[in-house]
Amino acid sequence: MSGTDFVPRWASPPGDTIKDALHEQCMEGRTLAEALELSQNEFEALLGGDIPLTIKLCERLSSKIGGSVEFWMTRDGQYQADRPRVLADAWVQRMPVHDMKTFGWIQSDTDNWLSQIDNCLRFFDVVSPDAWQAEHTALLEQTRLRSSKILESDEFAVAAWLRQCEVELSNIPCAQWDRDAFEALLPQLLPLTRLGDPRHFLSELQARCAEVGVAVGVVRAPRGCPVSGAARRLPSGQPSIAMSGRHRADDHLWFTFFHESAHLLFHGTDALYLDEIELDSDPSPSSEEAEADRFAGTMLVPPEYEARLAGARRSPLELRKIAGEIGVSLGIVIGHLQHRGLVGYNTRLNRLKSRYKWNGPSLERA
């Protein structure tokens, strides 16, 4: 890169020059603020670059501390030109860029900071961070959160995950949304839980749900994103269910799927339901979340098995037999017992769950 191609990764406001002049002339800021006819708060904002220079301000600066009006106008013009680029760089720095590259969401062939800005803007399909912020704020306004922990997490990582979910699920051809057909389909999907390898059940899950108008996918979450699943209407109008594969175990994955299914069935498709489903029970879920929990729980383990499970010896052989009768995986039965507090999370039975691992963007059996 030649010297003429150099693009600074910073933006120096005119306030930096003003501070230097105050120091050199042993002048107090209060005195200059009065000369500029600014309040102290306005003067501090001017020094920080939050107030653009007007011709009148430039004239007063020129009169009080020197420099021509043209100098101050040029100085501020350069800052105003640099500032959006620097703010965009700061925006990118908050994104999980490393994981976005690793997962193939954005180009990974360059570490140039200007290219990373362009890559992130293209990823979100926006022209500027301000445009992204407007879309992100609008999305949050329609979001129903299971846990406030999601808000306390890295919102940029969550936003990146949601965007990738939108990209991947929008590419799934789907029939028109048929709520009744989707509800009728769900019990038919239970045998898929017994296929331990996601490579064997995810494609069929996607295909069968697409036939009734629901786009389903599992998208790896970047670091800082604690979300288990999301139910939402895509920009195309298609209802969708996205899962992150969090905890990488069959009981959690399938509980998440049926939980998000309940949101689509009973709570509509206009809101975005963003769920962080923990291994232990939520002590105070909202009515919608409690209803989704009940639906997922009874779908996976019907109520008529509750008493039997509570009194069972809970040996692997007995639990495997019950799981076979229900028609679900052994891991789901073990997870159900844990959720009910009948078995601890540190039990050796945990080893009997189907475990997953990530191979790049693909979820596989561990």
Is residue 296 exposed (0-12), middle (13-18) or buried (19+ Cβ within 10 Å)?
buried
108/169 Cα distance (integer angstroms): 22
Q: Residues 15-43: what's their mean pLDDT? A: 94
14/76 Cα distance (integer angstroms): 6
Whether the predicted pLDDT of 212 surpasses 90: yes
pLDDT score recorded for residue 308 = 87
In this structure, are 70 and 41 located in the same domain? yes
Q: Is residue 326 part of a domain?
A: no
263/145 Cα distance (integer angstroms): 12
Is residue 132 exposed (0-12), middle (13-18) or buried (19+ Cβ within 10 Å)?
buried
What percent of the chain is modeled with pLDDT above 90?
77
69-73, 140-144, 145-149: which has the minimum mean pLDDT?
Answer: 145-149
In this structure, are 241 and 286 located in the same domain? yes
25/315 Cα distance (integer angstroms): 85
Q: What pLDDT, in 10s, does the model give residues 218-238?
A: 999 999 999 999 999 999 999
pLDDT score recorded for residue 110 = 73
In this structure, are 62 and 128 located in the same domain? no
Q: Is residue 89 part of a domain?
A: yes
In this structure, are 70 and 219 located in the same domain? no
Pick from 85, 120, 141: which residue ends a domain?
141
pLDDT score recorded for residue 163 = 97
pLDDT score recorded for residue 186 = 98
Q: Residues 128-133: what's their mean pLDDT? A: 95
Q: Is residue 3 part of a domain?
A: no
In this structure, are 221 and 173 located in the same domain? yes
Query: Which ranges of the chain would DSSP assign to H, the alpha helix?
Result: 14-24, 29-35, 40-47, 55-65, 69-93, 97-102, 113-124, 129-141, 149-152, 155-170, 179-185, 198-211, 250-266, 287-300, 306-311, 316-326, 330-339
pLDDT score recorded for residue 2 = 40
In this structure, are 75 and 172 located in the same domain? no
In this structure, are 181 and 133 located in the same domain? no
- Residues of the domain holding 71: 8-93
Whether the predicted pLDDT of 326 surpasses 70: yes
288/290 Cα distance (integer angstroms): 5
In this structure, are 77 and 129 located in the same domain? no
| Greater model confidence, 286 or 177 | 177
pLDDT score recorded for residue 148 = 59
Q: Is residue 346 part of a domain?
A: no
Q: Residues 174-203: what's their mean pLDDT? A: 96
Whether the predicted pLDDT of 149 surpasses 70: no
Q: Is residue 341 part of a domain?
A: no
In this structure, are 72 and 84 located in the same domain? yes
310/319 Cα distance (integer angstroms): 11
Pick from 113, 141, 169: which residue ends a domain?
141
pLDDT score recorded for residue 343 = 86
Whether the predicted pLDDT of 253 surpasses 80: yes
pLDDT score recorded for residue 4 = 47
CA-to-CA dists, residue 241 to 60, 207, 271, 278, angstroms = 60, 13, 12, 18
In this structure, are 288 and 154 located in the same domain? yes
Whether the predicted pLDDT of 103 surpasses 80: yes
In this structure, are 137 and 203 located in the same domain? no
pLDDT band at 108 (very low <50, low <70, confident <90, very high): confident
Report the number of distinct structural domains present in the chain.
3
Query: Of the candidates 355, 247, 229, 209, which has an alpha carbon nearest to the alpha carbon of residue 292?
Result: 229
Pick from 62, 93, 124: which residue ends a domain?
93
Whether the predicted pLDDT of 281 surpasses 60: no
pLDDT score recorded for residue 280 = 58
Q: Is residue 307 part of a domain?
A: no
Q: Residues 195-209: what's their mean pLDDT? A: 95
In this structure, are 178 and 277 located in the same domain? yes
Q: Is residue 190 part of a domain?
A: yes
Whether the predicted pLDDT of 322 surpasses 90: yes
pLDDT score recorded for residue 3 = 42
The tokens for 357 are 């691992």
Q: Is residue 352 part of a domain?
A: no
Which one-letter DSSP state was computed for residue 146? S
38-52, 93-107, 122-136, 332-346: which has the minimum mean pLDDT?
Answer: 332-346
- Decide if 79 contacts 12 (C-beta within 8 A): yes
Q: Residues 206-228: what's their mean pLDDT? A: 96
Name residues whose C-beta falls within 8 Å of residue 178's C-beta, 6 or more positions apart in sequence.
212, 213
